[in-house]
Amino acid sequence: MLSVLVVCTGNICRSPAAELVLGSALDDSVVVSSAGTGAVVGAPVAPGMARLLAERGLDGSGFVARPLTEDLVTSADVVLAMTRGHRAAVLELAPSALRRSFLFTELVPIAERLGPGAARSEDAVRLAEVVAAAPRARASLDLDRDAPDVEDPYGRADDVFRRVLDRIEVDAERLVAALRR
């Protein structure tokens, strides 16, 4: 079982959305969880995001926000940060996570650039291959163009929540397509 940790600020909007979206898109060989650098500990998914997730058939009702810790980072096989600042916070806690931590938007173009792998029955195997090959693939990325930060919708209008969730869904779909080709 491969573990993915998604990181944002409050752990009530972006990271729980990505946890639910990726968790439902990837097969059972991958477990996805989330945490926040400034988590609203014990809080549920923010109402605006929870509503949109429910409209898309994803149930966040049992979700509880938790803080990012060194143990969470060191135990994760892959860490996906919503912004460069979140990735910096991850690396401050656990510098050893450098080669397995990415911007959420960065992992997709890396996986797409690597091309097809050998036929695999599990997403975890291919995702591990992507992480192992990432240092070479990162060199060809223009992070500003290929891997922008995912904006924070907290306290903003519904259209921002929708735009953020759309971005998360598109990137999750692209990642899964790249892993399974």
- Domains of the chain: total: 1
Which residue(s) pair with 35 in the sheet? 7
- The mean per-residue pLDDT over the stretch 85-93 comes to 98
Q: Tell me the per-residue pLDDT of 16-65, one tens digit each, with 9 for 90 and over.
A: 999 999 999 999 999 999 999 999 999 999 999 999 999 999 999 999 99
CA distances from 76 to 31, 96, 115 (A): 10, 11, 25
Within 13 Å and on the Cβ side, how many CA atoms surround 86? 33
* 153 and 49 Cβ atoms separated by less than 8 Å: yes
Among candidate residues 111, 34, 41, the one with its CA nearest the CA of residue 76? 34
Domain that holds residue 129: 2-180
Within 13 Å and on the Cβ side, how many CA atoms surround 139? 3
CATH number at residue 12: 3.40.50.2300
Q: Tell me the per-residue pLDDT of 99-134, one tens digit each, with 9 for 90 and over.
A: 999 999 999 999 998 877 666 679 999 999 999 989
**Tokens 């966040």 sit on residue:** 60
Judge whether residue 153 has pLDDT over 70. Answer: yes
Neighbours of 40 (CB within 10 A): 18
Close Cβ partners of 96 (under 8 Å, ≥ 6 residues apart): 74
Residue 110 three-state SS: helix
The pLDDT, as a whole number, for residue 117 is 65
